[in-house]
Structure 1
Amino acid sequence: MSRTGRPKAPLELTEEERAQLLRWARRRKSSQALALRSRIVLGCAEGLTNKEVAALEKVSAPTVGKWRTRFVEHRLDGLSDEARPGRPPTISAEQIEDVVVATLESTPLNATHWSRAKMAQRSGLSKSTIGRIWRAFDLQPHREDGFKLSNDALFVEKVYDVVGLYLNPPEAAVVLCVDEKSQVQALARSQPAFPMMPGMPEKRTHDYVRHGTTSLFAAFNTADGTVISSLHRKHRAIEFKKFLAKIDDQVPAELEVHLVCDNYGTHKHPSIKKWLAAHPRFHMHFTPTYSSWLNQVERFFAYVTADLLQRSDHRSVQALEGDIRKWVKAWNEDPKPFIWTKTAEQILDSLGRLLQRTTGAGH
């Protein structure tokens, strides 16, 4: 006779309880822990087993059992965290909720975001208390991050295409991530830098004189990390065609060439299309719009910037280009390929969760 396990207490919801749980689960600015517990209870109420709910919510079965039991015993009150031993709190849950909701859903008068002083003045609590509440809920009103969501109609297809090249590169072929770092400036500081000393960082003047610009064209080999590069004073289609010719010259003739590029106009210029038609071993793969993070050469450019350009001091474009050539040569003597681990499915799932949390939109 098969084992059925310990019988579970039935979990049935009133209309009021179901409505409240749905609000907690769907309200994008509520506590994520409370939202998870609400989804667990809703899943159990639909007749799913603990294992099925655990798989759906990506938690352990004991976690589902814990919150199922807590709800059966204490109903909605059972989904809050249990009181811990120690001095009774001097701030009520209502005050904490008021601070959190106000931080997330409002702005102070004549300001774009809350400070501890402004929230303390509004709530009547001390600035240190506001700081503790914000730390507990991981709220940082003074910080912001930038983002740009792709509006590419072929976003999913392009993600699968590019990531597929990284994870399963074709045989008898080379995969090159290609782009231009344009408008690299030759900047001469107005005064010599003060060197770093114990207790004092290096000091540089904030002002400088511009001595012209150059553009770094780079093709990053995803297999071994080597880079084919060129420097041009402009970055038009004619310069890009010259760079393609250099790639064609340096990549062995028996290999197919797969290029990962962004959607910059020069990469799709009629003259480039004509050149590609005359060189059938070249295959273009375009990243989605606003998705330069998919192109591995951008990480290479970040190294160039951090190691060389960020503190550069050049009196001419020629001097700047000379240093860039030396830097790339040193890189190729000890190349560092980037190990891509995310599958296309993992990337799309991650973006879906971000959209769900920030906009309430579905996957």
Structure 2
Amino acid sequence: MRQSTVEVVLTDDERETLLRWSRRATSSQALALRCRIVLACADGLSNTQVGANLGIHPTTVATWRKRFAANRLEGLADEKRPGPARTVTDEQVEDVIVRTLETTPKGATHWSTREMAKQSGLSQSTVSRIWRTFGLKPHQVDTFKLSKDPQFVEKVRDVVGLYLDPPERAIVLCVDEKSQIQALDRSAPVLPMMPGMPERRTHDYLRGGVTTLFAALNTATGEVIGSPHRRHRATEFKKFLTKLDKEVPAELDVHLICDNYATHKTPAIRKWLLAHPRFHMHFTPTSSSWLNQVERWFGLLTDKQIRRGVHKNVQALEKDIRDWIAHWNEDPKLFSWTKSADEIFERLAGYLNRLPNPKP
């Protein structure tokens, strides 16, 4: 005998919830469809009518009609499906993690998935999943260098203070030199990229000379003032300061963030600064080039112009550098500094605490 259709009667709260779930952007498509099925059934439509309206089989409509009538809103959730039993125990996972963090394999400096699988008795794919889950990457290594500057704290607070709270009626410029930029020409013409084939070039090259780029990055706008010079002395740095003095409006003070290179502190430079009192020098701590924002800009210059550039002589190299600076200044990108000095010190303390024998 044919079974009677289960009647669906909704309360006001249930109808409101079903409508919200059916329209919510974060609801899964399956849940939204089930909500529409129940709402249509509550309007008195038959399973066949609901199926025709929603483009599904009447049997599907009958299933969710019955589940809602029996369990209400909770009945619309997916039931737990049986799966295979877990084969890797917590102890085995812990063993892989401990081995990875605290030991090294014989004949190697770090673990590979193949070597760890051999030692642990697990499959290589299982080891890989464990490492991904816990963020372990034995094949990668980063470098760091701790500054030994006795005025490290004071200098960090000074420079970061200029980034986060620059003085009024003043301009903050990150200044540095990118020295020993080589004009390199390949021993054979570069083969252009083709479908399925990357650009190809010879591994050997012809040297065409070197140049040095003096650059100042405006921390407020991202604009760069640059000047290539063939030599890297206090004389060239003084010429660059004169260039900055001409290009920066006279009514603004100029705060220069520099590293501790000797050419920045010679008697000639100090004399020039005394004659130009609107210029103020701020020095980053030793071994802390990461604190100078122009270093990031130098990285972009290297990636986009120098590393893969081909230059027969220094004149061609300097022309390309000037052209790239002009192109950059047409739409400069601002480097936003976000970390406070206290956050930097906290991060540094984390490194120190991980050292075997941290030194003060």
TM range (shorter): 0.7 to 0.9
1:321 to 2:318 alignment: yes
State the alpha-carbon separation in 2 of the partners of residues 234 and 349 from structure 1.
Answer: 40
Paired residue secondary structure (1:175): strand
Q: Contact between 1:161 and 1:285, CA under 8 Å: does it hold in 2?
A: yes
Is 115-124 or 156-165 further displaced after alignment?
115-124
Q: Name the aligned partner's letter for residue 109 of structure 2.
A: T
Aligned mates of 2:354, 2:132 — CA distance in 1:
19
* Alpha-carbon distance between aligned partners in 2 of 1:182 and 1:317, rounded to the nearest angstrom: 13
Distance in 1 (CA, whole Å) between partners of 2:164 and 2:90 is: 49
SS of 1:183's partner is: strand
Pick the aligned partner of 1:95 from 92, 97, 102. Answer: 92
**Cα offsets for 1:79-131 (capped at 9, x unmatched):** xxxxxx85433233232222211111121222111112222222222222221
3-state DSSP of counterpart to 2:274: helix
Q: Please tell me whether the aligned partners of residues 356 and 362 of structure 1 are also in contact (alpha carbons under 8 angstroms).
A: no
**Match 2:121 to one of 116, 121, 124:** 124
Partner of 2:307: 310
Q: Distance in 1 between matches of 2:357 and 2:135?
A: 20
Change (3 A) 1:242 1:310: same
| Cα distance in 1 between the residues matched to 2:133 and 2:220 | 44
TM-aligned CA deviation for residue 219 of structure 1: 0.8
- Alpha-carbon distance, 1:183 to partner: 0.6
> In structure 2, which of residues 211, 216, 231 is the aligned counterpart of residue 219 of structure 1?
216
Q: Distance in 2 between matches of 1:239 and 1:119?
A: 56
Deviations 1:144-167 (A, max 9, x none): 112112222222221211111112
Whether the aligned pair in 2 keeps the contact of 1:215 and 1:235 (CA below 8 Å) is yes
**Mapping of residues 45-56 of structure 1, within 5 Å:** none
Distance in 1 between the 2:135 and 2:202 partners? Answer: 37
Larger Cα Rg: Structure 1 or Structure 2?
2
Q: Which amino acid is the alignment partner of residue 143 of structure 1?
A: Q
* Deviation of the 1:354 alpha carbon: 4.3
Q: Structure 1 vs Structure 2: percent identity of aligned residues?
A: 65
Of 249, 256, 266 in structure 2, the residue corresponding to residue 269 of structure 1 is 266
Q: Secondary structure at the match of 1:171?
A: coil
* Compared CA separation, residues 335 and 129, structure 1 to 2 (3 A): closer
For residue 336 of structure 1, give the secondary structure of its aligned residue in structure 2. coil
Equivalent residue for 1:165, pick from 159, 162, 166: 162
* 1:288 alignment partner in structure 2: 285
Within the alignment, does 1:112 sit opposite 2:123 as a pair? Answer: no
- The partner residue of 1:191 within 182, 188, 210 is 188
Cα distance in 2 for partners of 1:265, 1:154 equals: 17
Aligned to 2:54: none
Q: Secondary structure at the match of 1:220?
A: strand
Q: Distance in 2 between matches of 1:313 and 1:259?
A: 33
Query: In the alignment, which residue of structure 1 is the partner of 2:173?
Result: 176
Gaps of 5+ in 2: 1-81
Partner SS, residue 298 of structure 1: helix
- 1 CA distance for matches of 2:280 and 2:359? 34
Structure 1 counterpart of 2:200, one-letter code? K
Shift of the alpha carbon at 1:184?
Answer: 0.5
User: Offset of 1:311 from its aligned partner?
Assistant: 0.8
Does the CA contact (< 8 Å) of 1:352 and 1:362 recur in 2? no
**Greater mean deviation of Cα atoms: 134-143 or 245-254:** 245-254
Q: Secondary structure at the match of 2:190?
A: coil
Match of 2:28 in 1: none
TM-fit CA distance, 1:180: 0.3
Amino acid at match of 2:234: A
TM-score (norm 1): 0.72
How many angstroms does 1:296 deviate by? 1.2
**Corresponding residue for 2:233?**
236
The count of corresponding residues between Structure 1 and Structure 2 is 280
Say which SS state the counterpart of residue 165 (structure 1) adopts: helix
TM-score (norm. length: structure 2): 0.72
Q: Which letter maps to 1:137? A: F
> In the TM superposition, what is the alpha-carbon distance from 1:359 to its structure 2 partner?
6.0
Instruction: Please give the residue correspondences for 1:242-253 in structure 2 after superposition, counting only pairs within 5 Å.
Output: 242-253=239-250
Tell me, yes or no, if structure 1 residue 351 matches structure 2 residue 348: yes
How many angstroms does 1:360 deviate by? 9.4
SS in 2 for 1:179: strand
**Equivalent position to 2:339, from 315, 338, 342:** 342
